Structure 1
Amino acid sequence: MYREEHDSVGKLNIPGEAYYGVNAQRAMDNFQITQMKLDPVLVESLIEIKKACALTNMELGELDPKVGEAILAVADEMLAGNLIGQMIVDPIQGGAGTSTNMNINEVIANRAIELLGGEKGDYDLVSPNDHVNKGQSTNDVYPSSGKLTILKLADMFLKTLEELAVSFEEKAQEFAHVKKMGRTQLSDAVPITLGAEFHAYYMVTKRNIKRLAAVRDEVRSLNMGGTAIGTGISAHEAFPVTVNKHLNELTGLNLEVAEDLVDGTQNIESFGVVADCLKTIGLSCSKIANDIRLLSSGPRTGFGEILIPARQNGSSIMPGKINPVIPEVVNQAAFLAAGNSVTVAMAVEGGQLELNAFEPVIFHKIIESFRVLDNSLMTFNTNCVKGIKANEERCRELLERSTYLTTALAAHIGYDEASTITKESLRDNKTVPQVAREHGVSEEILAAIME
């Protein structure tokens, strides 16, 4: 069974049971791009904005209280998880997000019509445009919903980073006594402790936490009430301040009204800053994952200085092979976030005059980066970092075999004698301590350079 709806393009049949309407149906027909659904946090943010707008319009005397209360009731239903499946448009769409905005408007309107005793599609009772979207435009609703989503996902990701930092700090303390050979450019350098290496991982993670916490301020400013291009046409003059008040009450996100609503509608470089921050976090974590892959390489022919948990078989042909699958997924998440940052940068640059039409791909890619980085670092922490063990015997073996111990030895016996010991160690395939003893170096000196 179908109902007939119309828009400026013409008439269209809509499934009778559907709460979405003609605008969402056309968007679904036009934009089978990712074949994915809108992120649930983005949908939640849209609902919160629609609820705050209804409260604002009622407070300002711009909306019939009977209609307003029905809109509020539907918003609460949706925030409880109902009707979410009626959000049918693809995340990537033409039209600067209009399809998404109209999808939520239509769902709220049609359910509100039911609550008021009408039948879906009877938009004289509750209109998606005139009532649900009153005082609004896609051009303030959509970017604001993206900003709310970023703030929520950032808070979620911060918890994951903080847990990872704790794990690195615990490993730094656990490995503080394990001395090993440090390396520069993959070549032996000078001694270091395994604990010092893990403390460095802790430090960069703490910096990433500070970066992400700071970048949230880039997206606290909303252009709600600016409507189409920031001039506020069709909205009550008190709409911006009033809707911001209600949004803060609903979300607790410490939101602000944009200082200049035209600027807040035209310019969206803040999203580029967010994407770059996520890229930086991903790249630094990928470097750590590379280190752990190298330090755990082996088990017989690699560095083998640490042991990471065996999570699954590593080969369909080599029996017993175990690969560093968890660090590898961190690498791939970082590659994705880096590529997404480029996409966002291009979309930020692509805006023209009073609007940027490419926010759909911006939000899709920023959300994807948040989700993939968060999930990859959770599994990295749980399934790898927490279970890392030091191979102390291997660390000491490689330390003793390294000729670069003679750098420390030279301070005690002189450069020329240390050079001679280096050459003999390489020639005879002996450890530096073995050759040093043959040259009469005392155990006290050897103990000093091995500490």
Structure 2
Amino acid sequence: MRIESDLLGTMTIENNVLYGIQTQRAVNNFPLSDKTLSQYPAMIKSLAYVKAACVRANQQLGLINDEKADAIFASCNNLIDGLYHDQFPVGMIQGGAGTSTNMNANEVIANIALQKLGHPLGAYQFMHPNSDVNLSQSTNDVYPSAIRLSILLQQPKLIASLEGLIERFSEKSQEFKHILKLARTQLQDAVPMTLGQEFAGFASTLREEIKLLNQLSPFFYEINLGGTAVGTGINTKKGYADLAIKQLACLTELPFVKAEDLIEASSDMGAFVIYSSALKRLAIKLSKIANDLRLLSMGPRAGLSEINLPAKQPGSSIMPGKVNPVIPEAVSQVAYQVIGLDSAISMAAEAGQLQLNAMEPLIAFNIMEEMALLTNACSMFDQHCVSGISANHERCHYLLDNSLALVTALNPFIGYDAATNIAKDALSSGKNIKDLVLEKGILSESQLADIMQPEKLTEPA
């Protein structure tokens, strides 16, 4: 054990841990959930990138000696490489606007550096978490900069999983392109279309979301690093902010720039609000598609049953043979959770006061949860559902032939009034449209066959 001290007194710390007294206080103070910083590697790496950029800027300005700077930089690289992530036990939801997270990073980096320099853990007279690792910094510029970077680091994984799902829908659209079926509006019979067109629509609507996310990600390139506590840059040397941001851009190969107004940027949560809103939009679209697939597959004997979803598990403890659409159901539940997280982000963003938003930890936590949930949901949807969907060709054909939808297709050829009368007769007699048209001699069999060609029913004339 070792004894560490801070403003509030002393505390006994286990001697084999790399964090210190301020981290331990946070662990004691915020037992809110089992979601700790250690479970968010992108955030830890982002903090390390920011700390590495700051120490190089301080070194260039002559504010820290080369030995300390090199030890801090090497320690940050260890974290970037995935080492020591188990040393971040602070809860993601915390009071203090992220100070506990920043100090967890400061203490871990300081203790790794102390080991590299041959000193025992906690020997802060040789490497101090605040005076050295946090030099020229505040939680209020380090933390929001790291959150922005962590989102940028996670986005490629989300987009890759979304691209995989889009590709699967596109493949199915080709597989089903010749299968005529009945389209529906307001859950009522509408007009003919192909099953391939329906699946192509799923791919297209999701493709829009990739475009939107890529358009929004540059909002996170503008950061307030160097603004320290409230954006005035107190406790920094002139030119530090520009140097630190240039170093961060170099280390991450991302085009970070200094915010035009560091005071405004220190309290503004607008980028998080709009990005979370885009994630919510993606979630809503995924749930709509999931619900469509559930409707199209419902049955299998007494529903639409136009498609078959892959059977993933027995569906009932009492009904033998029942198989439920569990994957689409799970996708919709993810969507509802993301919608709830987005609402919490909106409330937290609104709760900012004066020069800081103390609710930023909740914003960070919820956005990372949204991204992780959507990444996993897209992969699950792709691999465990969409890839295994098959079409019931005969069922699609039967439902189309026995609907009134064909009347709309005949409208340009026989006129609205005649088409209306055919529809009435079909409803009262139970006969299908084609049989009635032939029976009444309105069109010949060859004329009807020509009109009923799939490309004439599903495309502009």
Say whether 1:438 aligns with 2:430: no
- Give unpaired runs (5+ residues) of structure 1: none
Offset at residue 163 of structure 1 (A): 2.1
Q: TM-score, normalised by structure 2?
A: 0.94
Aligned to 2:28: 29
Distance in 1 between residues matched to 2:119 and 2:410, nearest whole Å: 90
Distance in 2 between residues matched to 1:193 and 1:109, nearest whole Å: 63
- Give unpaired runs (5+ residues) of structure 2: 454-461
Distance in 2 between residues matched to 1:195 and 1:18, nearest whole Å: 58
Q: TM-score, normalised by structure 1?
A: 0.96
* C-alpha contact (below 8 Å) 1:158/1:213 kept by paired residues: no
* C-alpha contact (below 8 Å) 1:105/1:128 kept by paired residues: yes
Distance in 2 between residues matched to 1:94 and 1:233, nearest whole Å: 23
1:171-320 equivalences under 5 Å are: 171-320=172-321
1:149-160 equivalences under 5 Å are: 149-160=150-161
**Higher mean displacement: 251-260 or 141-150:** 251-260
* C-alpha contact (below 8 Å) 1:412/1:445 kept by paired residues: no
Aligned to 2:456: none
Distance in 2 between residues matched to 1:369 and 1:107, nearest whole Å: 28
* C-alpha contact (below 8 Å) 2:334/2:377 kept by paired residues: yes
Say whether 1:42 aligns with 2:43: yes
- AA aligned to 1:7 is D
3-state SS of paired residue (2:324): coil
Distance in 2 between residues matched to 1:418 and 1:122, nearest whole Å: 90
* C-alpha contact (below 8 Å) 2:106/2:134 kept by paired residues: yes
- AA aligned to 1:290 is N
Aligned to 2:387: 386
3-state SS of paired residue (1:197): helix
3-state SS of paired residue (2:19): coil
Aligned to 1:73: 74
Aligned to 1:395: 396
* C-alpha contact (below 8 Å) 2:36/2:89 kept by paired residues: yes
Aligned to 2:90: 89
Distance in 2 between residues matched to 1:79 and 1:411, nearest whole Å: 66
Offset at residue 226 of structure 1 (A): 0.5
- AA aligned to 1:389 is S
* C-alpha contact (below 8 Å) 2:44/2:79 kept by paired residues: no
Deviations 1:80-139 (A, max 9, x none): 222211101000000000000001101111121222222211111000000000010000
Offset at residue 427 of structure 1 (A): 2.9
Aligned pair count? 450
Offset at residue 394 of structure 1 (A): 0.7
**Higher mean displacement: 52-61 or 137-146:** 52-61
Deviations 1:352-398 (A, max 9, x none): 11111111000100000000011001111122222222211111100
Aligned to 1:109: 110
Deviations 1:315-337 (A, max 9, x none): 12211211111111111111111
3-state SS of paired residue (1:369): helix
- AA aligned to 1:445 is Q
- AA aligned to 2:17 is A
**Higher mean displacement: 434-443 or 305-314:** 434-443
Aligned to 1:332: 333
* C-alpha contact (below 8 Å) 1:96/1:360 kept by paired residues: yes
Distance in 1 between residues matched to 2:182 and 2:84, nearest whole Å: 59
Distance in 2 between residues matched to 1:405 and 1:313, nearest whole Å: 38
Say whether 1:366 aligns with 2:367: yes
3-state SS of paired residue (1:77): helix
* C-alpha contact (below 8 Å) 2:44/2:80 kept by paired residues: no
Deviations 1:187-208 (A, max 9, x none): 0011111122122212211211
Distance in 1 between residues matched to 2:81 and 2:417, nearest whole Å: 77
- AA aligned to 1:432 is I
Say whether 1:141 aligns with 2:113: no
